[in-house]
Structure 1
Amino acid sequence: MSMTDPIADMLTRIRNALRAGHRTVNIPGSKSKRRIAEILQQEGYIEGFEWHDDDRQGSISIQLRWVGDQPAIEGIARVSRPGQRRYAGSKDIPQVRNGLGIMVVSTPRGMMTDRAARRAGIGGELVCSVW
């Protein structure tokens, strides 16, 4: 069975694992999911991730970050959906929680945070927001 929105599935798996109190979560792999995991690690929202290569699509094991007994990710949400894409220019990219969160933006130069896209002066598709 094919999945309509694999990125939304990744975000939902992370959200469900955090609510259940899990330390790791496994998701089916892809290049875009790997890049989102890299961004989450660079920004300090997850401890790390491992790419498990098999002969098919692979999988990603994400180690979630906890500060005491609270998760580092307070909220994670999909912004642009397959049925309703959202694009923004560099000056129109919204801030998440007045700059306390990040927006992952898919640009012609690859996926990056909202701050990096504004600095580079490029816009793109608003993938998801994390706070």
Structure 2
Amino acid sequence: MGRRILNDALRTIVNAEKRNKATAQLQPISTVMCSFLHIMKTRGYIKDFQVHDPHRVGSITVELLGRVNDCRALTYRQDLKAKEIEQYRLRILPTRQWGYVVITTPNGVLDHEDALKQNVGGQVLGYFH
């Protein structure tokens, strides 16, 4: 999956939030994008998302809550060991209270809290706060 696709989708969400829209339409889609959105949903940053026709080009409709300030996908691959995750989080996110770094690990796509609990590292996909 190209990182540009994920970054474009996340920028669409941020722009829709800034314009106080209720939904955002994302196209094209990927399984990594669905995993990223699932983490955003479980952490309470988006209300819900629905995948339409995933076997073709497909699209995703995201229901927004107005909580997303910024979310980005990193276009460069950066490997992180489990012990380096906390330092990276402090450097990237604005405060300790909110925000999540999303990492692809051998155990799947996880946020930084779950990766620390499972003591696994991986490659940084992006972040949101």
> Which residue pairs with 2:24 in the alignment?
25
Asked whether the 8 Å contact 1:23–1:63 carries over to 2, the reply is yes
Instruction: Find the residue that maps to 1:112 and give its secondary structure.
Output: strand
Q: Is the 8 A contact 2:79 2:124 kept in 1?
A: yes
Alpha-carbon offset, residue 87 of structure 1: 1.5
- The residue type paired with residue 17 of structure 1 is A
Contact 2:79 2:122 in 1 (8 A): yes
Q: 2:118 aligns with which of 117, 120, 128?
A: 120
Aligned-residue offset at 1:99: 4.5
User: Cα offset for 1:55?
Assistant: 5.2
Greater fraction helix: 2
Quote how far apart the aligned CAs of 1:57 are.
2.5
Change (3 A) 1:18 1:122: same
Which residue of 1 is the match for residue 12 of structure 2? 13
User: Is the 1:30–1:57 contact (alpha carbons within 8 Å) kept by the matching residues of 2?
Assistant: no
Q: How far does the alpha carbon of each residue in 1:95-131 deviate from its partner, in whole angstroms, 9 at most, with x for none? A: 2322521111111111011000011111111111111
Indicate whether 1:53 and 2:57 are aligned: no
Post-superposition offset of 1:54: 5.8
Q: Answer yes or no: is the 8 Å Cα contact 1:23–1:64 preserved in 2.
A: yes
Number of residue pairs matched by the alignment: 121
**Pair 1:92 & 2:87 matched:** no
SS at match of 2:110: strand
Deviation at 1:35, TM superposition (A): 0.8
RMSD: 1.6
Identity score, percent: 25
Q: Residues 54, 112 of structure 1: CA spacing in aligned structure 2 closer, same or farther, 3 A cutoff?
A: closer
Q: State the AA in 2 paired with 1:60.
A: I
Q: 1:68-79, aligned counterparts within 5 Å? A: 71-78=66-73
